[in-house]
Chain A
């Protein structure tokens, strides 16, 4: 076993030959952060006293959910055969919503650890990221984690992994992030198997941004991998996508806290601080170059983040609108993919239409708004982008049901996704049923082993944005894993279903759905609202309509008695206070036409029943 490095290589002057850049590909819960912690300990970067479980996941939400949203990079020294090496571990996000960020992190590396739970086997997202890594020609080191678990089946899953990436089952390393077993051997293998980075030290500087984080004290902290040349302190740098120039206020490496260095050379990984305040000025995937002597070509692979899922966010208390606006402005500093613009809803008042990379991104943003800014929010049902062509040939892009044009339409195209599901084979029937009910077309099915199946489907993105993953989990007792990627557009027979209260349309409940599902949406919404809206002084018809055609109807009967018949022997105060309380309650309701709808009705009607059940379980 190799000892800790006696003399750590100095950043900025490190020979690329002793650098090793790698990331860890793993499914949520497969123990990536725990293993990372062990490596920090084994290399002496972190003393046991400094250990805080899952050191690399900084945000509370990440720690609570046990998932990594934002990647970080840590430099660790390690000695093999008398040579000191510098290992850069780049932590990657683990969720499909952040595939683009994952791909950038992978591009910053020469190798990847494929980390798989020895009790669970490989999962769909891991598989997707593994393919990404293989496409980028990364050297893969397969690792089975949690071998200390009684339920671990390392032999079985080693075989599965060997089938996927080639090689022998014996090549699969077995470690335990919990006990530390196998960690030193793993570090040795990283040094031996992962190639050193290559680059032209004399060329104009080029460094790829693989992460960008807003810190309230230091402004934006940008994580880069230097490909060519060298970046120096106080240098003027330029962003190649925009040409914007900044001065380098600080440059350094993380080990595990930021340490300023004399610069970063070829193959090195570290951070930059330029004083910019918005991560949009320092975008993931962009190339950093020398401002005075810029490179001719940027590094490949840069894309603007594209929101795929849209939802309206409205404060429950209308007076919180400015707070919501400021909160979004703040979150935006740290989230280049978050888009929003003001939206006005007749039912919900002032709010924002927000664009997200996916559902998890939506949930995280919503949760941060509620937790960090103390906001109570209503979010409308998520929807996707539709391309609509009217009969007169004019076309438009629809990101919210309220934009859906009236009248005859020539075509409507919706975004499609290709999904991959990995699950135990006993659930194949249930999964197929679910996918078919979501307008899915099967693309293929492969047995990874006797008990595990990979299913591929193509279906509309709109069908998975609401509760697909919850449904999949419940139909497979939690065993299925899902990955998806965009797969073009498809024309579909889509309609907008409106919900009317006493003849008045409630924009918050309008939805764009497939014609075959419009009736089901209309009936379920109407009957939900019947339960949720209190009886009023008059009868309230609830209707679901496509255009002017009514497809479902419910009635809330008029309330017939609303009077306290006794005055409690002169206790007028009590009676008055009761009335005042009722009046307060009315103030907290939204009035649509003359119908008073409690906030809870919006919240409950807009959340899926599965989701509600799920929350109740927690």
Chain B
């Protein structure tokens, strides 16, 4: 969730979805995202919708979050049903933030329990929570596992203290292998997140972090390039000259290095920034986004999508809570995508994943550009022979350019 929200049309107070969402609903899965907008401190680079403040008054805060989240779950149940959508068990659930583990573990357990009670879970459904390596205890992980969580994603970011300091991450690098170890013992799948290209980070430092992450043998690794978002503390520091700006060429080198090391260690890419130890360990929730499936996002600023209708909640916890207490939709705005926009999104999302974009989903103008893209080494010529547009390693680095070319 970014502070800068998209502009959209007004969302109806009753949350009712347009009839267009019904089309093909049986063929689409439903996922749940739960946004917990609380952190103990705010990191310099972060522009997600999160607050270090614990209590906003009016009974809104970290400890009462659960009440409003449960209210939105009930609201979601009602809206989906009244809009005529079939009952679908959850394909996946993901608790992100913020720091989900900043709220009491019992509250996470209650939210998941209520979601299961309302929607049920598909067999083998993936249920993930993000966690901070510094603040999670072994007993918390045990409780989460018992409540039905199957997976935990640790915000590792880097193994180099100097880099963590630039990012203003507070955790002790040694805590990461400890918590990864606990999770594995308990039987949770594990993912770790890395961030490349923090100001001043060298290629060697990045290699250290990548190798450290691999050495913990997680099931899944995400490696994101740092994006300096306007309005963040980091952006201000760069503008003032405290930190050097991010160098895209170096980011490219870091991506190539990480990709090589991951592949050598047996982690296969399945999305531009994601690698998994095996096909089964790919994140089902992550893929639901790229496959353009339906999901409901709970929490302040959370985004939702049901078949071409996207909406996003008000950002601040206070109006968010007030709307739900008034039994009205917490949505700030929504957009009902037209055909061209849906096409654009379809290409944009599918092109990022290893499964790729079937050629027959491209319009003629886009198909005409594929031979040139293959010749430029940006898409895989063999996959193209099988009528699939799949990015090559270089193509992944220029993924947005490829999408612009395909939809020009």
Hey, which bits of chain A sit against chain B, CB under 8 A? 537-538, 559-577, 579-580, 582-583, 586
Which residue of the partner chain B has the closest CB to A558? B398
**With A538-B376, A560-B248, A561-B248 in contact, do A569 and B33 touch (Cβ < 8 Å)?**
yes
Extra contacts, 5 of them, besides A563-B401, A568-B303, A572-B310 (Cβ < 8 A), are A559-B401, A563-B396, A570-B297, A573-B6, A575-B348
A573–B401 CA distance with the chains assembled, in angstroms: 18
Judge if B399 is at the interface, Cβ distance under 8 Å: yes
Q: What sequence of 0s and 1s flags, for each residue 213-256 of chain B, a beta carbon within 8 Å of any chain A beta carbon?
A: 00000000000110100000000000000000000110110010
What residues of chain B lie closer than 8 Å to A566, measured between beta carbons?
A: 224, 227, 273
Contact of A582 among B6, B255, B312, B400 (CB under 8 A): B400
Contact B404 A583 (CB under 8 A): yes
What residues of chain A lie closer than 8 Å to B251, measured between beta carbons?
A: 561
Contact A572 B227 (CB under 8 A): no
What residues of chain B lie closer than 8 Å to A577, measured between beta carbons?
A: 6
Judge if B302 is at the interface, Cβ distance under 8 Å: yes
Residue with the greatest number of chain A CB neighbours at <10 A, chosen from B5, B303, B335: B303
A568–B224 CA distance with the chains assembled, in angstroms: 11
Distance in angstroms from B406 CB to nearest chain A CB is 11
Distance in angstroms from B9 CB to nearest chain A CB is 12
A421–B123 CA distance with the chains assembled, in angstroms: 92
Judge if B305 is at the interface, Cβ distance under 8 Å: yes
A561–B259 CA distance with the chains assembled, in angstroms: 14
What residues of chain A lie closer than 8 Å to B249, measured between beta carbons?
A: 560-561
Contact of B404 among A568, A569, A575, A582 (CB under 8 A): A582
Q: What sequence of 0s and 1s flags, for each residue 43-86 of chain B, a beta carbon within 8 Å of any chain A beta carbon?
A: 00000100000000000000000000000000000000000000
**With A561-B252, A570-B289, A583-B404 in contact, do A576 and B345 touch (Cβ < 8 Å)?**
yes
Which residue of the partner chain A has the closest CB to B344? A576
Residue with the greatest number of chain B CB neighbours at <10 A, chosen from A559, A572, A577: A572
Judge if B403 is at the interface, Cβ distance under 8 Å: yes
Contact B398 A572 (CB under 8 A): no
Residue with the greatest number of chain B CB neighbours at <10 A, chosen from A567, A569, A575, A586: A569
What residues of chain A lie closer than 8 Å to B305, measured between beta carbons?
A: 570, 572
A504–B273 CA distance with the chains assembled, in angstroms: 37
A582–B400 CA distance with the chains assembled, in angstroms: 9
A559–B251 CA distance with the chains assembled, in angstroms: 11
Contact B33 A570 (CB under 8 A): yes
Contact A576 B8 (CB under 8 A): no
**With A569-B35, A569-B48, A574-B6 in contact, do A579 and B403 touch (Cβ < 8 Å)?**
yes
Contact B295 A570 (CB under 8 A): yes
Q: Which DSSP category, helix, strand, loop or mixed, fits chain B's interface?
A: mixed
What is the number of residues of chain B that contact chain A, defined by CB distance less than 8 Å? 47
Distance in angstroms from B92 CB to nearest chain A CB is 12
What residues of chain B lie closer than 8 Å to A574, measured between beta carbons?
A: 2, 4-6
Contact B227 A573 (CB under 8 A): no
What residues of chain A lie closer than 8 Å to B227, measured between beta carbons?
A: 564-566
A561–B251 CA distance with the chains assembled, in angstroms: 7
A567–B33 CA distance with the chains assembled, in angstroms: 14
What residues of chain B lie closer than 8 Å to A562, measured between beta carbons?
A: 397-401
Q: What sequence of 0s and 1s flags, for each residue 386-397 of chain B, a beta carbon within 8 Å of any chain A beta carbon?
A: 000000000011
Judge if B408 is at the interface, Cβ distance under 8 Å: yes
| A/B interface sample: 25 pairs, CB < 8 A | A537-B378, A537-B398, A561-B225, A561-B252, A561-B397, A563-B397, A563-B399, A564-B227, A564-B400, A566-B224, A568-B303, A569-B1, A569-B48, A570-B289, A570-B302, A571-B1, A571-B2, A571-B303, A572-B348, A573-B8, A573-B310, A573-B312, A574-B2, A574-B6, A583-B408
Which residue of the partner chain B has the closest CB to A586? B404
Distance in angstroms from B127 CB to nearest chain A CB is 16
Judge if B96 is at the interface, Cβ distance under 8 Å: yes
**With A573-B8, A586-B404 in contact, do A565 and B224 touch (Cβ < 8 Å)?**
yes
Distance in angstroms from B97 CB to nearest chain A CB is 9
Q: What sequence of 0s and 1s flags, for each residue 3-18 of chain B, a beta carbon within 8 Å of any chain A beta carbon?
A: 0111010000000000
Distance in angstroms from A596 CB to nearest chain B CB is 11
Q: What sequence of 0s and 1s flags, for each residue 249-267 of chain B, a beta carbon within 8 Å of any chain A beta carbon?
A: 1011001000000000000
What residues of chain B lie closer than 8 Å to A559, measured between beta carbons?
A: 248, 398, 401
A563–B272 CA distance with the chains assembled, in angstroms: 9
Judge if B341 is at the interface, Cβ distance under 8 Å: yes
Judge if B407 is at the interface, Cβ distance under 8 Å: yes
A537–B376 CA distance with the chains assembled, in angstroms: 9
What residues of chain A lie closer than 8 Å to B348, measured between beta carbons?
A: 572, 575-576, 579
Closest 6 CB pairs of A and B: A560-B252, A563-B399, A573-B6, A570-B303, A561-B252, A565-B273
A571–B4 CA distance with the chains assembled, in angstroms: 11
Taking CB atoms and an 8 Å cut-off, the chain B residues in 318-348 that contact chain A are 335, 341, 344-345, 348
Contact of A572 among B2, B345, B397, B400 (CB under 8 A): B345
Distance in angstroms from B403 CB to nearest chain A CB is 6
A377–B225 CA distance with the chains assembled, in angstroms: 40
A401–B191 CA distance with the chains assembled, in angstroms: 63
Contact B397 A573 (CB under 8 A): no
A253–B344 CA distance with the chains assembled, in angstroms: 69
Which residue of the partner chain A has the closest CB to B333? A573
A575–B341 CA distance with the chains assembled, in angstroms: 12
Contact A573 B335 (CB under 8 A): yes
Judge if B142 is at the interface, Cβ distance under 8 Å: no
Contact A583 B272 (CB under 8 A): no
**With A560-B252, A563-B396, A580-B344 in contact, do A572 and B401 touch (Cβ < 8 Å)?**
no
Distance in angstroms from A585 CB to nearest chain B CB is 10
Taking CB atoms and an 8 Å cut-off, the chain B residues in 333-381 that contact chain A are 335, 341, 344-345, 348-349, 376, 378
Contact A572 B404 (CB under 8 A): no
Contact of B400 among A560, A567, A571, A579 (CB under 8 A): A579
A586–B400 CA distance with the chains assembled, in angstroms: 13
A436–B64 CA distance with the chains assembled, in angstroms: 82
A586–B33 CA distance with the chains assembled, in angstroms: 35
Distance in angstroms from B118 CB to nearest chain A CB is 20
What residues of chain B lie closer than 8 Å to A572, measured between beta carbons?
A: 289, 303, 305, 310, 345, 348-349
Which residue of the partner chain A has the closest CB to B249? A560
Q: What sequence of 0s and 1s flags, for each residue 285-318 of chain B, a beta carbon within 8 Å of any chain A beta carbon?
A: 0000100000101000011110000101000000
Distance in angstroms from B37 CB to nearest chain A CB is 11
**With A569-B302, A570-B303, A586-B408 in contact, do A579 and B398 touch (Cβ < 8 Å)?**
no
**With A570-B297, A573-B312, A582-B404 in contact, do A560 and B397 touch (Cβ < 8 Å)?**
yes
What residues of chain B lie closer than 8 Å to A568, measured between beta carbons?
A: 1-2, 48, 303
Distance in angstroms from B254 CB to nearest chain A CB is 9
What residues of chain B lie closer than 8 Å to A579, measured between beta carbons?
A: 344, 348, 400, 403-404, 407
What residues of chain A lie closer than 8 Å to B255, measured between beta carbons?
A: 561
Residue with the greatest number of chain B CB neighbours at <10 A, chosen from A570, A575, A579, A583: A570
A390–B383 CA distance with the chains assembled, in angstroms: 57
Distance in angstroms from B313 CB to nearest chain A CB is 11
Contact A563 B6 (CB under 8 A): no
Distance in angstroms from A449 CB to nearest chain B CB is 54
Which residue of the partner chain A has the closest CB to B398? A562
What residues of chain B lie closer than 8 Å to A580, measured between beta carbons?
A: 344
Which residue of the partner chain B has the closest CB to A560? B252
